Structure 1
Amino acid sequence: MEINFLIMNRIVFFSVILLIVNLTVESQGAENEIINRISRYVGVETHKDTTRIHDPVMIREDGVYYMFSTGWGITIFSSPDMINWKHEYPIFTEVPEWTLEIVPDFRGHFWAPDVAFFNNQYYVYYSVSSFGRNTSAIGVVTNKTLNPDSPDYEWIDHGEVIRSIPGETNWNAIDANIILSEDGTPYMSFGSFWGGLMLAELNPDGLSLAHPIEDLTLLATRTTGENPIEAPFIFKKDDYYYLFVSFDFCCRGEDSTYKVVVGRSNIIEGEYFDMDGLSMLKGGGTTVVEGGSGYAGVGHNAVVSFDGVDYLVFHAYDMSRGGGSYLRILPIRWEDGWPEVDF
Structure 2
Amino acid sequence: MRVSTLTTLLSAATAVHGYANPLTCSGVCTNAHDPALIRRSSDGKYYRFSTGGKIAMHSATTINGPWTYLGAAIPNGSKIDLTGNDDLWAPDVTLFGDTYYMFYSVSSFGSQSSAIGVATSTDLETWTDHGATGVASSSGSKYNAIDPAVYYDGSKMVMTFGSFWQDIFTVNMNNPPLTVASGASSTNIAYKSSGTHAQEGAYIAKNGDYHYLFFSVGQCCGYDSSKPASGGEYKIQVCRSTSATSGFVDKSGTACTAGGGTTVLESHGNVYGPGGQGVYYDPTLGPVLYYHYVDTTIGYADGQKQFGINTIDFSTGWPVV
Q: 2:109 corresponds to which letter in structure 1?
A: F
Q: Give the distance between the partners of 1:157 and 1:144, measured in 2 at CA.
A: 13
What SS does the corresponding residue of 1:113 show, helix, strand or coil?
strand
What SS does the corresponding residue of 2:314 show, helix, strand or coil?
strand
Q: Does residue 311 in structure 1 map to residue 288 in structure 2?
A: yes
Q: Which has the higher contact order (CA 8 A, sep 6+)?
A: 2
- Does the 8 Å contact 1:253/1:322 carry over to 2? no
Q: Deviations over 1:165-210 (max 9, x none)?
A: 3334111111001110213x21110011011101010011211111
Q: Give the distance between the partners of 1:274 and 1:68, measured in 2 at CA.
A: 29
1:55-66 correspondence runs (5 A): 55-61=34-40, 62-66=43-47
- Does the 8 Å contact 1:134/1:164 carry over to 2? no
Per-residue deviation, 1:320: 1.3
Q: Give the distance between the partners of 1:238 and 1:175, measured in 2 at CA.
A: 25
Q: Structure 1 residues 50-59 or 128-137, which shifts more?
A: 50-59
Q: Give the structure 2 partner of residue 228 of structure 1.
A: 198
Per-residue deviation, 1:52: 3.7
1:289-308 correspondence runs (5 A): 289-307=265-283
1:191-210 correspondence runs (5 A): 191-210=162-181
User: Structure 2: which 5+ residue stretches go unaligned?
Assistant: 1-24
Per-residue deviation, 1:225: 4.4
Q: Does residue 333 in structure 1 map to residue 313 in structure 2?
A: yes
Residues 1:167 and 1:193: Cα distance change in structure 2 (over 3 Å): same
What SS does the corresponding residue of 1:89 show, helix, strand or coil?
strand
Aligned residues: 284
Q: 1:192 corresponds to which letter in structure 2?
A: S
Q: Give the distance between the partners of 1:52 and 1:210, measured in 2 at CA.
A: 34
1:17-166 correspondence runs (5 A): 47=26, 50-61=29-40, 62-83=43-64, 84-96=66-78, 98-99=79-80, 101-103=81-83, 106=84, 108-146=86-124, 148=125, 154-166=126-138
Per-residue deviation, 1:95: 2.3
Q: 2:123 corresponds to which letter in structure 1?
A: T
Q: Give the distance between the partners of 1:236 and 1:250, measured in 2 at CA.
A: 26
Q: Give the structure 2 partner of residue 30 of structure 1.
A: none
- Does the 8 Å contact 1:164/1:171 carry over to 2? no
- Does the 8 Å contact 1:110/1:127 carry over to 2? yes
- Does the 8 Å contact 2:76/2:86 carry over to 1? yes
- Tell which structure's C-alpha radius of gyration is larger: 1
Q: Structure 1 residues 83-92 or 129-138, which shifts more?
A: 83-92
- Does the 8 Å contact 2:36/2:93 carry over to 1? yes
What SS does the corresponding residue of 1:296 show, helix, strand or coil?
strand
Q: 1:126 corresponds to which letter in structure 2?
A: Y
Residues 1:48 and 1:340: Cα distance change in structure 2 (over 3 Å): farther
Q: Give the distance between the partners of 1:313 and 1:321, measured in 2 at CA.
A: 19
User: Structure 1: which 5+ residue stretches go unaligned?
Assistant: 1-45, 149-153
TM-score, structure 1 as length reference: 0.79
Q: 1:63 corresponds to which letter in structure 2?
A: G
Aligned-residue identity in percent: 34
Q: Give the distance between the partners of 2:63 and 2:70, measured in 1 at CA.
A: 15
What SS does the corresponding residue of 1:281 show, helix, strand or coil?
helix
Q: 2:192 corresponds to which letter in structure 1?
A: R
TM-score, structure 2 as length reference: 0.84
Q: Deviations over 1:87-145 (max 9, x none)?
A: 1122122223x32x322xx3621100000111320100011101111110110000122
Residues 1:211 and 1:77: Cα distance change in structure 2 (over 3 Å): same
Q: Deviations over 1:25-67 (max 9, x none)?
A: xxxxxxxxxxxxxxxxxxxxx8168434101111111210111
Q: Give the distance between the partners of 2:173 and 2:88, measured in 1 at CA.
A: 22
Per-residue deviation, 1:293: 4.0
Q: Give the structure 2 partner of residue 187 of structure 1.
A: 158
- Does the 8 Å contact 2:29/2:67 carry over to 1? no
Structure 1 stretches of at least 4 aligned residues deviating more than 6 Å after TM superposition: none
Q: 1:235 corresponds to which letter in structure 2?
A: A
